[in-house]
Chains A and B, each alone.
Chain A
Amino acid sequence: MAQITLKGVGKTYAGGVQAVSDVNLDVIDREFVVLVGPSGCGKSTLLRMVAGLEEISQGEIAIGPRVVNRLEPAERDIAMVFQNYALYPHMSVRENMAYGLKNRKTPKSEIEARVAQAARMLELGPYLDRKPRALSGGQRQRVAMGRAIVRQPAAFLFDEPLSNLDAKLRVSMRGEIRKLQRRLGTTSLYVTHDQLEAMTLADRLVVLNGGQIEQVGSPLEVYHAPASTFVAAFIGAPAMNLLDAYIEGGRVKLEGHDMGLVALPDGPITLGIRAEDLSIGTQGLPVTLDYVEELGANRIVHCFAGGQRLALIQPPEAPLSEHMTLRARPQALHLFDTTRGARLVAPATRIPEPVA
């Protein structure tokens, strides 16, 4: 068990492309941290630098007390689960799990015990002598997990481990990974582009964009107080409505309509409102209905406020009409700097505590 410390970590490729720059992050012992962001944001590169599969161009990475910059992947005491599982196709499940231990000269009896234990934990017992090609996607995923578990490493690194599974399996494996990590208490760094996966798994989220950290925080912090328009748009589905507005005499004006009071100087701003924070009322922001997406439990209503699109979530029984007026609580308004995208005022709402 160990903590992972990243200090000013950056990656510059041979052609001069800066894939990751100045990342500072402390993953504390037993913590589950998820790196999330769109493809090309540098999250995998960052993970691979921790693993030792990419050279570290700038900064320092430490796992436990050791700086690992110059260590081989095998010497870093980490285990990794790959997106395509990277199982050795010619080895049985048992051999796949045992290979890393064998190379480390672990005694045979010890290897057997650990493989048996991991197999029990992952319900792989009946498949130990099969080759990976005779397994289903979910089973292969478990073998990949098993290979990591038997090593009993200081940290697990996950590189989009669920993205090759179908939607249903992904949800159930997600739960299993979470439970397993809790049970083993192994520090974990997990990469995904799926914000929902990130939200559900993480103790803490790291949102990356263009090789830089946009925000670090618990899932609820990030959801309720996105640090930038990028985070606001990336976390949560449907994405937060981001609208061009302006401040005039201490009041937020959207398409000429007064949305509430703020203590900010006059000028243009970007106004963010989550779809679930909008409600239909007798007066408020006038909008025209565009189209409706039915989700069953509720529906997403797409409207135009002047020339700008916005979406709100409504229960299926709520009446809709061509012209409606919308309201939002003043606490639900997120204000961002229009040019830099940064959040302008601290959140007014109290962020709910996570249920343990």
Chain B
Amino acid sequence: MTHTPLPITESPLSFASRLARWWRGGDAQPAKRVQFDRPLTPWVFLLPQLAVVVIFFYWPSVQAVTSSFYIEDPFGFGSTFVGLENYTEVLSNNEYRSTAGFTLFFGIVVTALSLGFGLLLAVKADKVIRGASAYKTVLISVYAIAPPVAALIGMMLFDMHIGPFTELAALFGYDLKVGVNYRDTVFALITIAVWKQIPYNFIFFLSGLQSVPVSVREAALIDARSGWRRFVDVTLPLLAPTAFFLLIINVTYALFDTFGIIDVIVKDKPANNPITLVYKVYLDGFKGNDIGSSSAQSVILMVLVTVLTVVQFRYLERRVHYG
């Protein structure tokens, strides 16, 4: 019962003593009230992870930032420092802007649709007692499918010769040309991306719904007659933490994890085809060999993701109170 009490009044510390405490690792609340106090042992455990992180995370990240300030000679004969030129060039480039526009649109639509469908199915499945586990199994197996595999199957469904979707559209007199017509390709990309992501949202929403205490459900049953009111007034607020968490995850998914889907559908032929910012980093870097520009784009994305994650962390802290 006696936990280390939090310091109630913190005496004002000088910067130096604060720094000294931080150096000792003593400024955060310790994770355990008793810890091993050995100077060297933790290094043994920490070193492998640190090595991997430094070599494969920090080194490339720093490299991305530095090369974003240089223009590299395409034949590999050195590079020239150009300051912010890569950035200004990227940001004023029309193609980049339209890619950014599409990425935003794609992110919003995919997030909204997959969250919406995930929630709808979870709410319905939560009510069903029999068959719920079979249902879960179906959805979770879709979750395990890799994005490029999903895209390959999707590509067949939208194939101009054999695709059932194309045939379906033809019944309504529409000539669906995925990979040729920009709008049709966007439609296919969104459908596949949403299809792949619904199960993930479903799993989280369902587990969120099932963790609503029975007593709360029963209280709501007594207090509100209409099912819709109960849902809006009781269930939805309790799901809010889950929903916010999923929102961030879905945005990240739409921005990054859809790489495989886009690569399969667009097949390295970006001309007149929709691509996202991440795909453009890849294209400019590997196909276009424009390392400076690709790096600048990487850094812009890094800033974007950092902002997203900071929002997420701040929220996760707050989430404790939902409790």
Contacts and interface: CB of A to CB of B under 8 A. Distances in A.
A15 B1 contact: no
Interface stretch (A37-45, A298-306, A329-337): A37-45
Interface in A65-96: 83
A53 interface: yes
A28 B5 CA distance: 31
Nearest to B30: A14
A83 B7 contact: no
Interface string A150-183: 0000000000100000000000000000000000
Interface residues of B, number: 13
Nearest to B2: A44
Interface of A: 13-17, 19, 39-40, 42-45, 48, 53-54, 83, 160, 193
A44 B1 contact: yes
A134 to B, nearest CB: 27
15 contacts: A13-B4, A13-B5, A14-B7, A15-B5, A15-B6, A15-B8, A17-B7, A19-B5, A42-B2, A43-B2, A44-B1, A44-B2, A45-B2, A83-B1, A193-B1
Contacts of A43: 2
Contacts of A54: 34
Contacts of A83: 1
Contact of B7 (A16, A40, A45, A53): A16
B75 to A, nearest CB: 60
Contacts, number: 35
B173 to A, nearest CB: 66
A39 B1 contact: yes
Contacts of B8: 15, 17
Most chain A beta carbons < 10 A, residue from B5, B9, B33: B5
Given A15-B6, A44-B1, 16 more contacts: A13-B4, A13-B5, A14-B7, A14-B26, A16-B7, A16-B9, A17-B5, A17-B7, A17-B8, A40-B5, A42-B2, A43-B2, A44-B2, A83-B1, A160-B1, A193-B1
A285 B4 CA distance: 48
Nearest to A48: B2
B9 to A, nearest CB: 8
Interface in B1-48: 1-2, 4-11, 26, 33-34
Interface in B202-260: none
Contacts of A44: 1-2
B6 A40 contact: no
A47 B2 CA distance: 11
Contacts of B26: 14
A72 to B, nearest CB: 9
- Overall SS of chain A's interface: loop
Nearest to A163: B1
Interface string B261-288: 0000000000000000000000000000
B304 to A, nearest CB: 38
A39 B1 CA distance: 8
Contacts of B34: 53-54
A193 B5 CA distance: 18
A42 B7 CA distance: 15
A17 B5 CA distance: 8
A160 B2 CA distance: 11
A42 B4 CA distance: 11
Contacts of B5: 13, 15, 17, 19, 40
A116 to B, nearest CB: 31
Nearest to B7: A15
A178 to B, nearest CB: 23
A45 B2 CA distance: 7
B81 to A, nearest CB: 48
Nearest to A193: B1
Contact of B10 (A15, A39, A53, A160): A15
B12 to A, nearest CB: 12
A193 B33 CA distance: 21
A214 B9 CA distance: 26
A78 to B, nearest CB: 15
B1 A13 contact: no
Nearest to A17: B5
A15 B30 CA distance: 13
Contacts of A39: 1-2
Most chain B beta carbons < 10 A, residue from A14, A42, A54: A14
Contacts of A13: 4-5, 7
A193 B1 CA distance: 10
Contacts of A15: 5-10
A159 to B, nearest CB: 9
Nearest to A55: B37
B2 to A, nearest CB: 4
Contacts of A17: 5, 7-8
Nearest to B21: A14
Most chain A beta carbons < 10 A, residue from B9, B10, B34: B34
A44 B1 CA distance: 8
A18 to B, nearest CB: 11
